[in-house]
Amino acid sequence: MRNISVVALLVVLLFGCGGGRSVQAPPAPLVPADKALAQGIESYREGCYDRSLELLLRAYERYTAADERCGIAMALNNIGNVYRARKDLERSLLYYDAAADIFTEISDESGRLRTLVNRASALIEGGRLAEAEQSLSAARDGGEQDAFWLLARGNLLLQQGVLESAATALNQALKAAVKKQPDAVSGVHFALGRVFLADGRPAEAVDHAQAALAEDRSSGAYRKIADDLLLLGSALQEVGRTAEAGSAFRRAMSIYALLGDADAVAESARRLKDAGVETVHPVTVQFVEQWLKGDVRSHICR
pLDDT at 246: 95
Query: What is the value of pTM for the model shown?
Result: 0.90
Closest by alpha carbon to 271, among 240, 245, 238?
245
Buried b (16+ CB within 10 A) or exposed e, 31-40: eebbbbbbbb
Residues 2-48 have pLDDT tens digits of 333 443 444 344 445 654 454 566 788 899 999 999 999 999 999 99
pLDDT at 301: 82
Residues 104-120 have pLDDT tens digits of 999 999 999 999 999 99
Q: What residue ranges do the domains of the chain occupy?
A: 1-143, 145-219
Domain 1-143 and domain 145-219, same fold? Reply is: yes
- Which CATH code for domain 145-219? 1.25.40.10
Task: Inform me whether the pLDDT recorded for 150 exceeds 60.
Answer: yes
Any idea which architecture 1-143 has in CATH?
A: Alpha Horseshoe (1.25)
Average pLDDT over residues 110-131: 96
3-state DSSP helix/strand/coil % of the chain, to nearest 5: 75, 0, 25
Q: Rounded mean pLDDT of the chain?
A: 91
Handedness of CA 15, 21, 27, 31 (dihedral sign): negative
pLDDT tier at 218 (50, 70, 90 boundaries)?
very high
From CA 164, how far away is CA 247, in angstroms rounded?
31
Burial class of residue 217, CB neighbours in 10 A (0-12, 13-18, 19+): middle
